[in-house]
Structure 1
Amino acid sequence: MRITRVVKFSSNPTVADTVFIERIKSRVKHWRKSCKDSSTKLDEALVRSLKKIVLGSEEYGSRPCMNIDVCSERQVELVLEMLEEFSDDLVPLIIPAKGGATQAVRVVLTSSKEDMVLFQNELQDLKEERNKKVRGFREVIDLISASQRPVVSHNSLNDFTFIHSKFLAPLPPNVDEFLCSLHSVFPHVINVQQLMKEIRPLRNVTNIPTAISYLKDHFFAPMDVEILQQDAVSERKIHGHDVLRISLLFAKLCSILQIAPIQADSKKLVTALEDYANILYPFSASPQESTDGEIRIGTNNTRKVSCKHLVFLWGFKHGMTAGMLKSLIQGSHDIFSEEFDLRLVDRSCAIVLFWKPGLSETFLNVMNSEEISGSLRELVSEGLRAASYGIYKKVCSLGIWEIDLAESLEKALEESDCLQNTHSEANSVDVHWFSDSTIKLDDL
């Protein structure tokens, strides 16, 4: 609630305005007279309660009050202007709605001029106390902004529109101006939902505990935070638990994707994390999007391709995304001047799909040739390895499963008869190629 300031209308009141204000004025007079009538104090408690219900009378602390519902800001100003007639003992207060508009005008009756002064002082003290709380959190925002450190969030657009409107400035008229204003305060905003998209089963997961549970079951990330379990009702009120969960989820995702959020010698984001920063635009939810805590995998566009066109790659630098790796190898050899696609299987291994028949065999021959040259030779010297789909089939048949697929493929290559059966096993198999940046082993 806030203390009101009366603004006189320059325009003449309409018939509807006149009817509305006369009705409210009559109601206020009747309520005020009833409250001042000393004879009502002798009534029985039941009678007094019934009169309060009929008159709409309530209490604000120890003082009588009544609420006047309004439908527009014009009605608010009409009510405030009308209440000027009773300014000797009535104090109007604004009751705001959630959206920032006015829900009602509360009228408080004071017993004397001294009581009115006392009440206004109480209101002023409450206002200053609220301002201190707001300024206190604003100081936190200023400290975060001055540090230039990245801010991690899970529901970025919703969170930062609230923070901007409450602690920075009114929301700008369009999204571009909002983002410009926000980035002047928080230069690096990381939405963990963008990181989650690198792991296909988490693309449409919105429940934080579900995402953490999935990562814990399927990936090795040596970190954990113990969060006391609460019942469903009280848990929603403990926002500190959400902060811990978001922090844990972010740390696990960075560990799995081999991303160090901050460079050791500066406050700048590492290149690998810049791709996920400042993406706050809302996205349309698919019919398969999870809202109840269940993991659901979206049905994206797929194409059936022959496994003869697939090549497994590993030995590249940790932390690379599919886009980064594709850009790296694109200029390494003439083979990649033809159309090809690339998907990550896990943090250690990727699959290259050559759309033109025969290029996969050509690429494998080049990788195994002593005549390899150019930047591809440099990548090989740094540890880049390649194998056909048949090597992966050997991994499956022998059950050579390590934490990273790259280690499994290395062990399969060490088998003495592995290369002899590679092509014969792969020729008759088709796989479904997804449009995601990652692909699951189950899809192979």
Structure 2
Amino acid sequence: MAASGGKHRVVGGVVKQITKTNFSASLPEMKAHLDSCDFVAVSSQKTGDFGASSSQRHPWRRVLPIDTPETAYLKSKLAAESFELLQFAICPFRLEGSKVVAFPYNFHLFPRDELNIGMPSYSFSCQTSFLTSMAREQFDFNRCIYDGISYLSRVQESLAKERIPTPQVLQASSCASPSVADSIFVGRIKSRVEHWRKACKEPNNSADGSLVNSLRKLILGAETFGSRPCLSIDVCSDRQVQLVLEAVTLISDDLVPLVIPDKADGSKAVRVVIACSDEDKNLLMSEIQNAEDEQNLKVRGFREVIDLISASRKPVISYNCLHDFTYIHSKFLAPLPPTLHEFMCSLRLVFGNVLDVSHLLKEISPLRKAKNIPAALSYLKRQFFVPVELETPLQAESNCNENHGRNVLRITQLFAKLNCLLKVSPDCQPLSGQQNMGIEEYANIFYPTCTGLQEREDENIGTLIDSPRKVSTCNLVFLWGFGGTSATKLKRRLESSHSIFSEDFELQLLDSSCAVLVFWRSGVAEELLREFGSGSSALASLTSEGVKAAGFDAYKKVCRLGLWDADLAYSLENVLTESTTVPFTPSHVYWSNEVMLDLNDL
């Protein structure tokens, strides 16, 4: 999430701050806005990011310009499993000509084990640069920890429901071919319930005294459900549950059976409640449903918002979707699958159309070099006439001056401007006199976005990156064992070591131990790898010092095996010693000088 720097103009508008205190009350309002909107923008604030700084211990774990979508996904997966979300902003909005009507909400989150079931409380990593930036924005960590909204993923919710017994009203289903034992069991239960019901319906005889009445209740096994009398019947199987339900329905309409699962071993109980009238029975059913809804909301927590966005089927707008949606999937849906293809298939089941603003920027040639959201907005303002008026009708609150969550408004504003140029239609129906593109033309395209580009903007920082050059992964060579040096010195040293380095090539450091080379003429990289593999004497000046080389397949294998906790050179050494091989399919990446490191920062 982009933090608003002191020199950068903050996008105007009220962002409603949501904590555990006002979460339940805000859901109906937010759902109404979701129903009336065209799109939903999302943004999040995390406790860290491997692309936060080039001075981290293993900077090659950033998503780099040399990463394919597959390797970028594996790095984003690592980040999502390492760091935590502390804020999640959503902004339902609709486009009305040149006006954008937006309803931004910023949810404060904290993974608290409120149900005492061991979920989702777990450890997570933090980066001091992120916490410092949040503190600079006056982030209230106390409010986050004590009043932040907890949540469970869909998978965790399923596990939680097995551990938390919740009464349910179930209809009896006829048992096919009941046995003699079934008939005896039903008769015994029917007799017991009828005797208990009769005793409850009889007027209380004060002459018997309180002791006698208490003993009668104890013998009958009577309890209370709220203010209503009830009777608990222990059962040992699902079949017995159905037999009890069948017996109860044969007695009277004023009896309401509740099935209560047992969290210990799966055995259940059926609690039979007496309603004094039809109106009281309807009230009881309503109370049971409300209690179930309240319990479900407590279990899901913030994930209720994710489910509402999913149910709305509205297109979701984000910036760097691959990075953001690995977090969303990991925290709110299920553990991340091992491959990009499985991840995309799983995500499509929840969000039909996701639009990446960074991909839309590439559709407009001059904006392909935009470094971040403010840079793109600034360039659009200077070069294109795309008037967009942002309106946020949410009522101002006491905390409306907080800047938290405003990045979602920047994403909303940027998308609205891009939409004016690209004519993206949410319902795939072009307006009269215009050629709108269906949203499917741009949806669900998750290109890697280099997370090394800082989102903590400053107007003094350059707004454009170098134009990336498309290159095949077959033209990349990873080199290590050369000792500490700068990229410039290493390139000069290579140029004087072998005639193959007279070819046009570039070199960049990925960390202090490893560099990557790109050759602009096809076939040169393969030739260099063959020279290293054969132990060519022409490379003796390098190999004698321990310099080694590998192709992109080795790098891809490092990412697939998750060998993150070491220098890249050490990880490459490990995969080269393994005998297993993985089929290598060449693909393309976009080379950019943005990946260049300064060893003084490592």
TM-score grouping bracket, smaller chain normalisation: 0.3 to 0.5
TM-score (norm 1): 0.40
Bigger radius of gyration among the two: 1
Higher relative contact order (CA 8 A, sep 6+): 2
Higher helix content, 1 or 2: 1
